[in-house]
Amino acid sequence: MIKLSLRQYLMLALLGMLVTVILSYTLIADSYFKNGIDTLNRFIIRDLHAHYAPLIDANQPYSQPELFGFSLTTGYDHLPPYVKERLAADEIDTNQLRILLNVPGLPEGGVVFLMKLLTPAKQEVFYMRQVEPTSMNSANEQDIRNSMVRLMLISITALLLSLTILIMLYSVISRPMQRLIEWARKLSSSTIDTPHPDFLYSDVNRLADLVQSSLQSARDSLTREHEFLRHASHELRTPLAVISSNLQLLYRFSPPENEVCHNALARINRATDNMNQLSETLLWLSRDDAYQPERKQVKLDEMITELIEANRYLIAAKEIQVKTELSPCTRELPLVPCRIVLSNLIRNACQHTPGGTISIRLTADAAVEVRNDRPDEQNPSRKPDGFGLGLQLVSKLCNRFAWSFSHAQSPQQWTARLVFLGSRVSNPPAPLSRA
């Protein structure tokens, strides 16, 4: 379905109104032309009847062959045969003008006007006018042609004038809407509080107020969200640091042979590490876009290996095989965001894989691919939870640093692909030449 813009709809509506008005006036002019001829004939006939009716004797036939183009006769029997063949006596009503077309006995195109009136003595008087195409002389034809030419010129002029007014009206009405679109397109966080310009029409000004207030509300909501994330991340750091330091003390003073105690402390330590990483991720997401972290030389293959070992506790109790294919790759990248993204991908793959294989691949062009089997997808009653919150955090961070990130789901497998676009290749220093 084709969707019209407001300007196109307005143009079509005005054009439709113009065509409707022109057609209406054309039909009205045609109707007035036809009715005007009939009215003129009725007027002439009644004027003739007012003059000649007193002269007619009710007992004597009376006729006048030529009265301003009309003939006058009394009695139905004195009408021409071609009229009596078309109309019976009882079909001719008093004071009704009858128009006969295609009358036998007349040239093609001939017309007969006939009207019956009564005298004060109730005598029937018939007035008839016979018009034939050959009765028009060259002067009349030239007048008709001139009238038609003038009518066409007037119609064309009226049409052009109407189209000009229509285009001007369309421009006047659509210009404020176009200004509103341009103004809304140029809005930014620095100009959103500036009063909008006057768009001439109150409706357009109200729409601009609505757009501005909506964007201000969205800006305020984002500001509150960033402030909450930043404050929450900062406030979490202190209790997490206390927990970590006290865990180290518990590790030191707990009996080595107490395996239950050590397992509990290990779970607390892993949960604390996860909370630390989540806090750090949220803190990064809450920072301004203008903030550019420091870039460092990052060995991606070593970092991925380290993160796999750090998350092995998630698959220790599962029948999962981790396969890696890591090409040596060193890039100049922001260290902390890079570590957050890779850690989220690996941890979520370990966490959401109940069994099977996790494949992690790194190419020399800084492309990372993580695949994990989902054998539980064979159970239709289980709703897949995908990569969870970590996937959303990864996506936001990648958008922040213009890295390419995509993920896909097949019937029994999840695949995530990350490419560190814009990263600079780190060349190892050249060996010193010996003399």
For residues 264 and 305, state if they share a domain.
Answer: no
Where is the domain boundary, 135, 155, 190?
135
Tokens in use for 80?
A: 């021409």
Residues of the chain falling short of pLDDT 70: 1-7, 33, 58, 105, 109, 133-141, 143-144, 148, 233, 274, 277-278, 281-282, 284-292, 375-390, 423-435
**Does residue 154 belong to any structural domain of this protein?**
no
Contact 362, 368 (CB under 8 A): yes
CATH code of the domain covering residue 317? 3.30.565.10
**Does residue 173 belong to any structural domain of this protein?**
no
Single-letter amino acid, residue 230: R
For residues 73 and 100, state if they share a domain.
Answer: yes
Where is the domain boundary, 108, 135, 162?
135
For residues 276 and 302, state if they share a domain.
Answer: no
For residues 71 and 122, state if they share a domain.
Answer: yes
**Does residue 20 belong to any structural domain of this protein?**
yes
Tokens in use for 83?
A: 């009229």
Contact 167, 18 (CB under 8 A): no
Q: How many domains does the chain have?
A: 3
For residues 253 and 349, state if they share a domain.
Answer: no
Q: Which residues are bridge partners to 321 per DSSP?
A: 357
**Does residue 50 belong to any structural domain of this protein?**
yes
* pLDDT computed for residue 2 by the predictor: 65
For residues 40 and 121, state if they share a domain.
Answer: yes
CATH code of the domain covering residue 207? 1.10.287
Where is the domain boundary, 229, 260, 284?
284
Single-letter amino acid, residue 197: P
Total-model pTM: 0.46
For residues 225 and 313, state if they share a domain.
Answer: no
For residues 302 and 420, state if they share a domain.
Answer: yes
**Does residue 280 belong to any structural domain of this protein?**
yes
Tokens in use for 345?
A: 């991908």
Residue 362 domain boundaries: 293-425
For residues 239 and 319, state if they share a domain.
Answer: no
Tokens in use for 322?
A: 């981790």
* pLDDT computed for residue 291 by the predictor: 61
For residues 335 and 390, state if they share a domain.
Answer: yes
Distance (Å) of CA 193 to CA 31, 124, 161, 217: 62, 90, 44, 11
SS3 labels along the chain: CCCCCHHHHHHHHHHHHHHHHHHHHHHHHHHHHHHHHHHHHHHHHHHHHHHHHHHCCCCCCCEEEEECCEEEEECHHHCCHHHHHHCCHHHCCECCEEEEECCCCCCCCCEEEEEEEECCCCCEEEEEEEECHHHCCHHHHHHHHHHHHHHHHHHHHHHHHHHHHHHHHHHHHHHHHHHHHHHHHCCCCCCCCCCCCCCCCHHHHHHHHHHHHHHHHHHHHHHHHHHHHHHHHHHHHHHHHHHHHHHHHHHHHCCCCCHHHHHHHHHHHHHHHHHHHHHHHHHHHCCCCCCCCCEEEEEHHHHHHHHHHHCHHHHCCCCEEEEEEECCCEEEEEHHHHHHHHHHHHHHHHHCCCCEEEEEEECCCCEEEEEEECHHHHCCCCCCCCCHHHHHHHHHHHHHHCCEEEEEEECCEEEEEEECCCCEECCCCCCCCCC
**Does residue 170 belong to any structural domain of this protein?**
no
**Does residue 94 belong to any structural domain of this protein?**
yes
CB atoms within 10 A of CB 136: 12
For residues 412 and 393, state if they share a domain.
Answer: yes
For residues 211 and 130, state if they share a domain.
Answer: no
Tokens in use for 147?
A: 């009238």
Rounded to an integer, what distance in angstroms lies between the CA atom of residue 140 and that of residue 202?
A: 58
**Does residue 311 belong to any structural domain of this protein?**
yes
Task: For residue 102, give every residue at least 6 positions away whose Cβ sits within 8 Å of its Cβ, in sequence order, or none.
Answer: 108
